[in-house]
Amino acid sequence: MKKISRRSFLKTTLAAAGAVGASGLALPASVQGADPKELATLIDIRKCVGCEACVDACKEVNASKFPEPEKPFPKMYPSRVRAADWSEKRDVQDRLTPYTWLFIQSATVTINGEEQTLTIPRRCMHCQNPPCADLCPWGAARKLENGITRIDADICMGGNKCKVVCPWKIPERQTGVGLYLDLLPSLAGNGVMFKCDRCYNRIEKGEPPACIEECPEDVQTIGPRDEIVKRAYAVAKEIGGYVYGETENGGTNTLYVSPVPFETLNKAIEKGPGRPHFKAVEDSMAHADNLAKAMIIAPVAGAVAAVGRFYKAAKSVSETDGKGE
């Protein structure tokens, strides 16, 4: 099968759609504007050389979204609630943190009798039915129509629920920032949860995520999910490889294609806090008790989201007023 690079894939789609951005790289017109389609990304593990250009690009492009905590942190009750502070360790790059939304995992495996080290970009999987969003008590985590799941830092209370229910334990907390400081600094939440938001603000402008744009090896491809799934299986067929993400947790909008089984990769990678696994994952929201919980919290989430939005608007007015003084 003929290989299609990320640029030629986008170019072909764009030529058909008649829309190319200023950078020459843009999203298919079918996913822009009023009728956004569910977008997915495909990460071709064979191609990654571990250069971390994507990690640097993510940090640079999203720097303004990173937390700037106020210190000292308020004392929390009960005292077993511990502060999470990554603000002095912003350069940690070998795991996920509130300042590192993408990192490179490595796995030494045997391919065709030869030992090889594969490098694998890891970040939020952007689930099709994300428990982090469905079960967020405050309505801060939401899935957008274009397949992105993002946490609104102006509404999040840092209570960690999204991380507890995430099959990959992706979101990471920073204490000393966010709404809780003004509402209930000692009693509710403990900061804000952070993770990859798939560069939602770039996507809104028709630009690809920074990690995709800056990769010198065209490791990632973005497009409508049905096309991405087809492409994943076409590559897998071509190389005798394996696909991850089509059905994991009921389907994700981050898919991987690997030359070795994901069970093998999962055994070979370093796992633990901030370092997600590659295990098979059942659809966590398929369980009735989770759905029931989601339905119970929905009205609460709506009310708190409204308070958060009001608070955000009031804060922005007061900042604007302050500038005029």
Contact set with ligand SF4 (CB under 6 A): 48-54, 57-58, 61-62, 101-102, 104, 119, 121, 123-127, 130-132, 149, 162, 166, 168, 170-171, 195-199, 209-211, 215, 217, 219
Nearest distance, CB of residue 131 and ligand SF4, angstroms:
5
Query: How many angstroms separate the CA atoms of 323 and 325, rounded?
Result: 6
Query: How many angstroms separate the CA atoms of 272 and 105, rounded?
Result: 12
Kind and range of the H or E run holding 173: strand 172-174
Answer for the pair 145, 133: CB distance below 8 angstroms, yes or no: no
User: Closest Cα to residue 163, out of 198, 203, 204, 133?
Assistant: 133
- How many of the other CB atoms lie within 10 Å of CB of 242? 18
Nearer to ligand SF4 by C-beta: 124 or 255?
124
Residue 46 is given by DSSP the state: G
Nearer to ligand SF4 by C-beta: 83 or 203?
203
Nearest distance, CB of residue 67 and ligand SF4, angstroms:
15
Nearest distance, CB of residue 245 and ligand SF4, angstroms:
10
Nearer to ligand SF4 by C-beta: 102 or 265?
102
Count CA atoms within 13 Å of residue 263 on its CB side.
0
Nearer to ligand SF4 by C-beta: 130 or 308?
130
Six-digit token pair at 291?
């759905």
Nearer to ligand SF4 by C-beta: 116 or 316?
116
Nearest distance, CB of residue 122 and ligand SF4, angstroms:
9
Nearest distance, CB of residue 217 and ligand SF4, angstroms:
4
